[in-house]
Structures are given as C-alpha cells and as structure tokens.
C-alpha cells in the first residue's frame, strides 16, 4: 500500500511511500467482536514475518 493524503502528513512521508496496514479484530470466547483496529506503519520502520503451519 502506498501512502496518500493525510497519512503522508501523519507519518511524515511522501505520497506513494510504502505503508504497512494491519487490521485486528478482538473477540470474546463466545465469538462476539468487541474491538476492531486498523493501524498504519511506515514501511521503513518495520519488518513483517509470516510463518505458515
């Protein structure tokens, strides 16, 4: 995903700069969603590791 609009200002990057977008949903044990969060991170500040099982 490339940075655009207000996110450029907030993250102090130029338009098109690589951005990591993470979405998270927290649920109760019964499966009821109680929180949803979308976070944006500068692509030059984080490393994403994925492990498949």
- 1-53, pLDDT tens digit by residue? 899 999 999 999 999 999 999 999 999 999 999 999 999 999 999 988 889 98
Instruction: Supply the pLDDT for residue 1.
Output: 81
Q: Are 41 and 18 in contact (CB under 8 A)?
A: no
DSSP count for the chain of H helices, then E strands: 1, 2
Q: How many other β-carbons are positioned within 10 Å of the β-carbon of residue 11?
A: 15
pLDDT for 48 equals 85
pLDDT at 23: 94
Rounded-to-integer distance, Cα 41 and Cα 11, Å = 8
Provide the residue count of the chain.
53
């Amino acid at each position: 995903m490339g940075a655009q609009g207000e996110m450029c200002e907030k993250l102090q990057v130029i338009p098109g700069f690589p951005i990591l977008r993470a979405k998270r949903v927290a649920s109760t044990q019964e499966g009821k969603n109680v929180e949803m969060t979308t976070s944006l991170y500068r692509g030059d500040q984080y490393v994403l590791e994925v492990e498949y099982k």
